[in-house]
Chain A
């Protein structure tokens, strides 16, 4: 089945994963900037990472016929050192005009600290200054509920922000209403052990208006599955969702959000 993977960390995945995704019907991959699993030792490490995201990874994906796009930022886990984070953020304008950049992301909070919040707000301002869409990470496990509330409160301080161009990711049952009721898009991340399982994601789809929801695998170097989105489509089919409804969630919805980014194109 045709689908878009709107959140995958392909720098951490093998070439075999690209092949499997292509065979499964993946029509586009979007890759937010994230934590490498360890803290970089210098801001210049991010310059190489942004080169990888904007230059090398699109070429790797193209070998399998999949367009590859990216989001740029310094991730929340490395934002606690605000001075370091600002040095990294100063590099972003050098890459913002690259032809596959969609916007600023995945920004947000990790341990819900004051420094993380300050850097988050500076990223939002950067996106506004360049008229870019925003992809927001919400914290893990016990920190998610508080972090989602703090994120939404902080966004309320930006009256010029178009909420239709902001997606708040990794929602679960206890945060999805907060995000949708505030007028933002919400992403459900399909993980085997944390975030949403396939069944729970379908539960959320069955109990919410689906116009501003998308699914993603957020596959990375941890426990994750690059085929999770299409497997969730199969889970929907097992639960008697119509093919049109499956296509809407797996393809039309992400396409509708991402089409607000001038660089997003499906050839």
Chain B
């Protein structure tokens, strides 16, 4: 397995790029007109998870973007998905 130093050499620039892209996305949404929706709320709610000292941040973010209800839905009103649970 690679060391921390080797992982940084391999992937730091990519991770840096993804973080700047996310920051730019938030700037972009702020800059444009109209109303935001539950998806941006879910994104902002998940961001603090990145700074938690835990070994499963990816899992925590996925769970934050998940529908946690337990019962089957009565019927489907759409076929697709939004990426965050509808309020």
Contacts and interface: CB of A to CB of B under 8 A. Distances in A.
Interface stretch (B19-27, B43-51, B79-87): B79-87
Interface string A212-241: 000000000000000000000000001110
B73 A111 contact: yes
A150 interface: yes
Interface residues of B, number: 32
A240 B2 CA distance: 6
Contact of A142 (B58, B66, B74, B75): B66
Contacts of A116: 72, 76
Interface residues on A, range: 20 to 34
A172 B83 CA distance: 14
Nearest to B84: A142
A145 B68 contact: yes
A174 B10 contact: no
A114 B76 CA distance: 9
B28 interface: no
* Secondary structure class of chain A's binding surface, majority of residues: helix
B72 A142 contact: no
Given A77-B79, A173-B58, A174-B62, A112 B68 contact: no
A211 interface: no
A129 B78 CA distance: 32
Contacts of A239: 1-2, 7, 10
Interface of chain B: mostly helix, strand, loop or mixed: loop
B68 A141 contact: no
A146 B74 contact: no
A149 B11 CA distance: 33
Contact of B56 (A77, A173, A240): A173
B59 A174 contact: yes
A117 B72 contact: yes
Contacts of B69: 146
A116 B7 CA distance: 43
A142 B10 CA distance: 31
Interface string A163-203: 00000000011100000000000000000000000011001
Contacts of B59: 173-174
Nearest to A140: B81
A146 B56 contact: no
A122 interface: no
Contacts of B2: 239-240
A174 B70 CA distance: 16
Interface string B51-71: 000001011001101111110
Interface of B: 1-2, 6-7, 10-11, 56, 58-59, 62-63, 65-70, 72-86
Given A113-B75, A206-B1, A239-B7, 6 more contacts: A80-B75, A113-B76, A114-B74, A141-B83, A142-B84, A144-B62
